[in-house]
Amino acid sequence: MNKKITLKELAVISNFSVSTISKALSGNREISEETRKKIIAIAKLYNYRPNAAARSLKSQKTKTIGVIIPNILTHYFAKVLVGIEHEASKKGYNIITCISDESYKKEVKSMEMLASGSVDGFLISLSKETQTKGNYDHITSVINNGLPVLMFDRTSNKIHCDKVIINDFDAAYNATKVLLHSSCRIVIFISPISDTNVGLERANGYTQAITDFFNGTVAPLIYNFTDYSQAREDIENILSKKKVDGIITSDELSAIFSMNIAISKGFKIPGDISIIGFTDGILSRNSNPPLTIVNQNETELGKISAANLIKRIENNSKESYTTQIIETNIIYRKSINATIEI
Amino acid sequence: MNKKITLKELAVISNFSVSTISKALSGNREISEETRKKIIAIAKLYNYRPNAAARSLKSQKTKTIGVIIPNILTHYFAKVLVGIEHEASKKGYNIITCISDESYKKEVKSMEMLASGSVDGFLISLSKETQTKGNYDHITSVINNGLPVLMFDRTSNKIHCDKVIINDFDAAYNATKVLLHSSCRIVIFISPISDTNVGLERANGYTQAITDFFNGTVAPLIYNFTDYSQAREDIENILSKKKVDGIITSDELSAIFSMNIAISKGFKIPGDISIIGFTDGILSRNSNPPLTIVNQNETELGKISAANLIKRIENNSKESYTTQIIETNIIYRKSINATIEI
DNA sequence: CTGAAAGCGCTAACAA
DNA sequence: TTGTTAGCGCTTTCAG
């Protein structure tokens, strides 16, 4: 039961003063080589580790960052989180993860809880409810308190801070074009995230692609949903009534979901219907057929988000905020007919 | 730029002393109702929040727990993490998540980093490398320092602490029986986690079931792997050479993976081959056909783990350690022939 | 009922 | 080169 040892105790043991030990351990050159070595030896012997709370209190730095994400079961966020964790850990930071569960209230509560000295900054992707409400006071208030915030993926231009995103409009535009160029003529856009800026932008990109391709003679076809069992019915209906031959979804799961419905209705993929989704996750790689998707470089996005936030924390710079766009690309698998570069 | 306000500043503003304010805010009955109300009003006005670091330093409690998990992309761990986060958050705790990436070194580093005053306790599932090495000094050392540790899923009986697990042997035994009773005769066990206690126990359960069922006349058939591209080759070979008609895997992904290989080789699922896996994840629910699996009640397991750890933290009890077994059950879907209760 | 003061463990300015 | 001391923001004993 070798309880935590403190500097003071070490001082008694070693016959040096507390400050000498502190300096020696932090590599301060004021201390002679000789005593430094002695002190380090003793510290190691007693397995001394400076107390994090005391250090935070003194330095006003916690070396931890708060991560607020809507959920963690969606592969997209899980991959982003991996990127964040790796980068943070590499830079000596810990991450406190809060899952908002798409709830405004929980998001606010988490931020307030962490804003009082638990973290040096925030990485956040807004919950659906927050985006619907449009109330961002909890975030601006944190920023005004001097805590850096970086938003990724689900952002808002009502908030001035660093951001890391992809170009959702272009990505959806290009993905839709891929379907059209592989000779799909009735392409539907399916989305479970229509209440996020990300979902909206993707819908817009899709719409624009349809408009451009058909010179405005064909109306876009968009199906938004929130409830999966309702969606099953609806999508079955849509597939049997409209002669859909192309599906683009704003995420990964609903693409797989739609594909399974299509298959169960007897459609061949990609013979009868081509499908393309978002996020290079475990689902799309392991579906049958494997899903063609828009790769958002999720892990990379997480890494860059963490790196940028840490940069801001450590430089405490008044440099103007940046919005970094992560490149996307389409990974061609078997759920569409051909591999066409557009 | 309304910077964080401190107790001291509040004292100046309100003309009360620091200690009076502290007491009033903490609901201490020493303070008169009247001044308490005044103080609370002012505190709210200035949006006062006690500094977490200072509080931790004073109380020696951080109200956060460290979670060390091997990875986060496997649905099993993601679901456990959700359970942990929910329970912790409900009880007013934050979680610091470290991903060991199956690496001993990172696991050790993370624990050491957090053990010095950052957390009140640990929730940990061992990395593969740690289990292979069999070196648990980093864990016992933390326990000896007086920090509670609770292990879940991947545990070791070399370590004395609270645990939350499932009965891996029984679960695999029963799952194998299900295949045998649905008339499979050549059942293979496929595992990417043979280097964990969990994987071993499941293999043992499978072996016992085979032995029991065939009275020892049939040898168990086990395929362990770590590399998926190698596994693809091997499994293709196995399927074409042996007349396998049943597959049980120790996880979710390799079940889906095997199923896809089987399908691509022209086998019908479940007509020719029945498959059963572990973990009720997003993959198994959305595969085609949907996968029959052993439901480990992952989220529940996470909740109970967190709850038990917090109980230990707060009671600082010397009660003897407990090992709690989470119930499992089989969720029947379309990847096996029949629904047989055994 | 309210306030003064000590002290949690550490860092760093200042003294010696 | 080493030591003394103040103080980070809070809680809590003890005095008033």
Q: Residue B64: pLDDT above 80?
A: yes
In this structure, the answer to whether residues B192 and B251 fall within a common structural domain is: yes
Q: Is residue B86 domain-shared with residue B121, that is, in the same domain?
A: yes
> CB-based contact (8 Å) between A147 and chain B?
no
**Is residue A99 one of the residues assigned to a domain?**
yes
Strand, coil or helix: what is A154? Answer: coil
- How many folded domains does chain B comprise? 3
User: Residue A131: which pLDDT band, with cuts at 50, 70 and 90?
Assistant: very high
Q: Domain for residue B314, yes or no? A: yes
The bases of strand D with some atom under 7 A from any protein CB are 1-5, 7-13
CA dist list (Å): B152 to A114, B64, B281: 27, 18, 18
Give distance CA B17 / C1' C2 (Å).
Answer: 8
Nearest residue on chain A to B109, judged by CA atoms?
A89
B43 near A CB under 8 A: no
d(C-alpha B273, C-alpha B232), whole Å: 17
Q: What is the pLDDT of residue A287?
A: 93
Mean pLDDT, chain B, integer:
94
Q: Which residues are A275's β-sheet partners?
A: A247
Q: What are residue A276's phi and psi, to 5 degrees?
A: -140, 140
∠ CA B68-A120-B61, rounded to 5°? 55
Q: Is the pLDDT reported for residue A339 higher than 70? A: no
pLDDT attached to residue B318: 76
Q: Is residue B339 part of a domain?
A: no
| Cβ–Cβ under 8 Å, residues B87 and B171 | no
Q: Who's near B14: CB < 8 A, 6+ residues apart?
A: B21, B38, B39, B42
Q: Do B54 and A256 touch (CB under 8 A)?
A: no
Residue A202 and residue A191 in contact, taking contact as beta carbons nearer than 8 Å: yes
A58, closest nucleotide (Cα–C1')? D8
pLDDT band for position A4 (50/70/90)? Answer: confident
The reply to whether A15 falls in a domain is yes
**Mean pLDDT, rounded, for A55-62:** 94
Measured CA to C1', the nucleotide nearest B25 is D11
Task: Kindly state whether residues B154 and B71 are assigned to the same domain.
Answer: yes
For residue A1, pLDDT over 50 is answered with no
- Give yes or no: residues B239 and B319 share one domain: no
The answer as to whether A271 is a domain residue is: yes
For residues B252 and B155, membership in a common domain is answered with no
pLDDT computed for residue B1 by the predictor: 46
Give the sheet arrangement for strand A221-224, strand by strand. Answer: A221-224, A187-191, A246-249, A274-278, A292-295, A329-331
Distance in angstroms: CA A23, C1' C12: 9
- Measured in angstroms, the CA of B329 and the nearest CA of chain A are apart by 21
CB atoms within 10 A of CB A162: 23
**DSSP string of B23-68?**
HHHTT-TTS-HHHHHHHHHHHHHTT----HHHHHHHHS--SEEEEE
Q: Do A283 and B288 touch (CB under 8 A)?
A: no
B283 to A282: CB separation less than 8 angstroms, yes or no: yes
Same domain membership, residue B267 and residue B214: yes
List Cα–Cα distances, B271 to A78, A242, B287, B289, B342, in angstroms. 35, 33, 16, 11, 21
Q: Point out which residues pair with A99 in neighbouring strands.
A: A69
- Judged by a CB distance cut-off of 8 A, whether residue B72 touches chain A is yes
State both tokens at B142. 């933390």
**Gap from A115 CA to D9 C1', in Å?**
15
What average pLDDT does the segment B63-86 reach? 97
Asked whether residue B337 is assigned to any structural domain, the reply reads no
pLDDT, average across residues A160-187: 97
Q: What is the pLDDT of residues A258-290, one digit of tens each?
A: 999 999 999 999 999 999 999 999 999 999 999
Q: What are A95-114's pLDDT values in tens digits?
A: 999 999 999 999 999 999 99
pLDDT at residue B236 in the model: 95
Shared domain check, A257 and A207: yes
Residue pair A258/A272 in contact by the 8 Å Cβ criterion:
no
> Average pLDDT for residues B99-111, to the nearest whole number?
97
The answer, yes or no, to whether residue B342 has pLDDT greater than 70, is no
Whether B316 and B230 share a structural domain: no
B115 and B129: one domain? yes
Instruction: Identify the bridge partners of residue A247 per DSSP, sorted by sequence position.
Output: A188, A275
Confidence check: pLDDT of B266 > 70: yes
Q: What is the DSSP string of B197-256?
A: HHHHHHHHHHHHHHHHHTTT-S--EEEE-S-HHHHHHHHHHHHHHS---EEEESSSHHHH
- B145: pLDDT strictly greater than 90: no
pLDDT score for B341? 52
Judged against a pLDDT cut of 70, whether residue B339 lies above it is answered with: no
Is the CB of A115 inside 8 Å of chain B's CB atoms? yes
Tokens read off for A1: 């039961």
- Within 8 A of B287 by CB-CB distance, chain A residues are 286-288
Q: Tell me phi and psi for residue A64, to 5 degrees.
A: -135, 150
CA gap A216, B177 in Å, rounded = 60
Determine contact, residues B246/B223, Cβ cutoff 8 Å.
no
Q: What are the chain B neighbours of A259 within 8 Å (beta carbons)?
A: 288
Are the CB atoms for B223 and B188 separated by under 8 Å? yes
Structural domain includes residue B331? no
For chain B residues 30-49, those near strand C by a CB cutoff of 7 A are 30-36
Collect all residues with Cβ–Cβ distance below 8 Å to A36 and sequence separation of at least 6.
A24
Using CA of residue A88, residue A94, residue A98, residue A99, what is the dihedral sign? positive
- Angle between helix axes A228-241 and A253-264 (nearest 10 degrees) is 50
The per-residue pLDDT for range A306-323, each reduced to its tens digit, is: 999 999 999 876 789 999
- The owner of tokens 């029949």 is B338
Q: Is a pLDDT exceeding 60 seen at residue A30?
A: yes
Residue that the structure tokens 């043992």 belong to: B204
| Distance, Å, B60 CA → D13 C1' | 18
Query: In whole angstroms, what is the distance from residue B342 CA to residue B337 CA?
Result: 14
Can you list the alpha helix ranges (DSSP code H) found in A126-217? 128-133, 137-144, 168-181, 197-213
Residue B170: name the closest of B143, B214, B209, B112 by CA.
B209
C-beta separation of A101 from A278 below 8 A: no
Is-cis flag, bond preceding B289, omega within 30?
yes
Tell me, yes or no, whether A160 and A184 share the same domain.
Answer: no
Q: What pLDDT shows up at residue B30?
A: 85
A11 CB closer than 7 A to any strand C atom: no
Asked whether residue A286 is assigned to any structural domain, the reply reads: yes
> Residue A235 — very low, low, confident or very high, per pLDDT cuts 50/70/90?
very high
Residue A26 pLDDT: 86
Partners of A65 on chain B (C-beta within 8 Å) are: none
A342 pLDDT more than 60: no
Q: Which of B25, B99, B257, B335 to mutate to test the interface with A (most CBs of A within 10 A)?
A: B99
Q: Whose CA is nearest the C1' atom of nucleotide D13?
A: B19
Residues of B in contact with A1 (CB under 8 A): 144, 146
pLDDT grade, residue B2 (50/70/90)? Answer: low
- Whether residue B340 is predicted with pLDDT greater than 70 in this model: the reply is no
pLDDT at B28: 85
Q: Which residue is closest to C9 in terms of CA–C1' distance?
A: A54
pLDDT at A341 over 70: no
> Are residues B115 and B204 located together in one domain of the fold?
no
Domain hosting residue B123, numbered range: 59-165+298-326
In Å, how far is A43's CA from the nearest CA of chain B? Answer: 14
If asked whether residues A205 and A261 sit together in one domain, one would say: yes
CATH of the domain at B103: 3.40.50.2300
Whether A68 shows a pLDDT value over 60: the answer reads yes
Find residues 282-301 of chain B whose CB sits inside 8 Å of chain A: 282-283, 286-288
Give the nearest nucleotide to B11, CA to C1'.
C3
Disruptive mutation site among A119, A260, A265 for chain B (greatest number of B CBs within 10 Å): A260
Mean pLDDT across chain A, nearest whole number? 94
